[in-house]
Chains A and B, each alone.
Chain A
């Protein structure tokens, strides 16, 4: 773990680009970011098994594309963006596979929340998750990143390629809808 703290993202990328240390450096990148990415994906796809699939695919995509990464943004933001895209396309594929209309993803996610072996929490935590699942996709992403991951609007803006103003509005709407749901329930 100390080795991870010592090495900056810049250094990890430099080592990755040296052919000899490629796999070693990438292993360090996985160890450094796996937990944060896992929880980000988990909040989107809910099931542990699905999260595991999406997270593995995220890292494989990152491995294939890291040589082309221009370092305009931070490595973390870049990985977060890949994870978000992978999660959303995973949900889309799942919906297509079961011929579900757009809104039906909600029922599926809610069922997973109630039945997944690795989903357990007190009533109030489950209620909050149910409220978040009901949000439109974009608002859900913004709320999760801001409320749980404590990312700055500027970082979310880089990840979702959306203006800070629009993100603030999304977060505000999300908050109101969740509050409403929690009051009604």
Chain B
């Protein structure tokens, strides 16, 4: 477009009945664009056009997306089925993995003396002194007597 000189532009504006206030603002816009914007734009638009070549990986993923979804669903179903089977098969046959770990932690760290005593009291274990206590007294008494002849023992060794 041919550029008009300042005077000619003024005359033209006058002819077009453009008020002085607007003429004073001129026709320059208070806008700017980033550097190289117009150089890069055609390439960006070309990349967005329908039918333009997409990167191989992206187009591959897009192509097999339904199959991937189906496979994921299948694997999910198998996992749920297997977990269900394990739960059912563990029913009445002892503890499952998690339960076992919980029990070990409980007995290993949380079981204190008071709990042991109360467990013994509640149980049917006979705590009355048995024959061992009598035997122990006899052995102590025997060993403390002076008449023991240790020479025979030493000779045996």
* Residues in A lying within 8 Å of B, measured CB to CB: 23, 26-27, 30-31, 34-35, 38-39, 42-43, 48, 52, 55-56, 59-60, 63-64, 113, 118-122, 124-129, 147-148, 150, 175, 178-179, 182-183
Give the distance in Å from the alpha carbon of A94 to the alpha carbon of B34 in the complex.
23
Give the distance in Å from the alpha carbon of A23 to the alpha carbon of B44 in the complex.
13
B49, A60: Cβ atoms closer than 8 Å: yes
Give the distance in Å from the alpha carbon of A121 to the alpha carbon of B48 in the complex.
33
Contact of A23 among B1, B17, B32, B49 (CB under 8 A): B49
B52, A175: Cβ atoms closer than 8 Å: no
Which of B20-28, B87-95, B143-151 binds A? B20-28
Interface check B83, CB cutoff 8 A = no
Chain A residue with the shortest CB-CB distance to B44: A56
Q: Which residues of A contact B52 (CB under 8 A)?
A: 23
List the 7 closest A-B pairs by CB distance, nearest first.
A121-B30, A128-B25, A125-B30, A182-B21, A179-B19, A30-B42, A118-B32
Give the distance in Å from the alpha carbon of A59 to the alpha carbon of B46 in the complex.
9
A34-B42, A118-B31 given; A60·B21 CB < 8 A: no
* Distance to closest chain A CB from B39 (angstroms): 10
A179, B45: Cβ atoms closer than 8 Å: no
Interface check B18, CB cutoff 8 A = yes
Chain B residue with the shortest CB-CB distance to A148: B27
B31, A121: Cβ atoms closer than 8 Å: yes
Q: Which residues of B contact A175 (CB under 8 A)?
A: 17-19, 22
B19, A35: Cβ atoms closer than 8 Å: no
Give the distance in Å from the alpha carbon of A38 to the alpha carbon of B38 in the complex.
9
A120, B32: Cβ atoms closer than 8 Å: yes
Interface check B139, CB cutoff 8 A = no
* Distance to closest chain A CB from B63 (angstroms): 22
- Please give 20 more A-B residue pairs, beta carbons under 8 A apart, in addition to A27-B46, A178-B19: A26-B49, A30-B42, A31-B42, A34-B41, A35-B38, A42-B29, A48-B31, A56-B41, A60-B50, A113-B30, A118-B32, A118-B33, A119-B30, A119-B31, A119-B32, A121-B29, A129-B30, A147-B27, A178-B21, A179-B19
A59, B50: Cβ atoms closer than 8 Å: no
Q: Which residues of B contact A56 (CB under 8 A)?
A: 41, 44-45, 48
